[in-house]
Amino acid sequence: MSESYEQDFAPPPPIWRQFTDENVKKGVTPKPPDPLTEEEYTIYGETFSVNYKLEPLSETGNTQLYDSTPGKEIEELKKLNHSLLMLFYELIDIILKSPEKFKSKISDMETVIINFSHLINSLRSKQARNFLITTMEKQVKRRQKAMKKIDEIISESKKTIKKRLEECGQESKK
């Protein structure tokens, strides 16, 4: 009878052994895998969609505590952080005075943390876009700097050639 079980963490694929220092230097490492063609994939026992879309908190059964107006994310994160800190202080106070009532504060803290995480996750695409913009701007600056150096070298080379030609011309007149 074959028993099926699921591991929390899969062992690394055997392909990692091909990434030796020598292979990397020679450029003979395996090619990256092809892009996903299926709509879903499973990793560590959880199934994920390739076309991930963040669900609104209301659809997940949670209360939204922050204003979702674009541009106010930092302000809202600060408010949620402050709320979480205040709830933590209240929790400590409740634990000291009447430990049996702490569960309601834990529930409130959980709601704030869920909102905090949701708001941060909603900013992931913006973060990725800003990262790409920054990376591309750095590439442009680096290339402009390289082009400027090339132009300087070309200009210097032209001056040297002109100088040598003039020297050759003066020697032939003698």
Q: How does DSSP assign 87-153, residue by residue?
A: HHHHHHHHHHH-GGGHHHHHHHHHHHHHHHHHHHHHTHHHHHHHHHHHHHHHHHHHHHHHHHHHHHH
Q: For residue 87, give its domain range.
A: 14-123
Note whether residue 6 is domain-resident.
no
Is 173 found in the same domain as 92?
Answer: no
pTM (2 decimals)? 0.59
For residue 1, name the pLDDT band (cuts at 50, 70, 90). Answer: very low
Is 99 found in the same domain as 80?
Answer: yes
At 6 the pLDDT is: 64
Is 81 found in the same domain as 45?
Answer: yes
pLDDT for 98-155, tens place per residue?
888 888 899 999 999 999 999 999 999 899 999 999 999 999 999 999 999 999 999 9
Note whether residue 4 is domain-resident.
no
| Token digits of residue 59 | 């659809």
Domain count, the chain: 2
Average pLDDT over all residues of the chain: 88
Note whether residue 3 is domain-resident.
no
At 94 the pLDDT is: 93
| Token digits of residue 22 | 């020598």
- Beta-bridge partner residues of 48: 41
Stretch 29-56: mean pLDDT, rounded? Answer: 83
Among residues 61, 64, 58, 112, the alpha carbon closest in space to that of 87 is found at: 112
**Separation between Cα atoms, residue 156 and residue 73, nearest integer Å:** 52
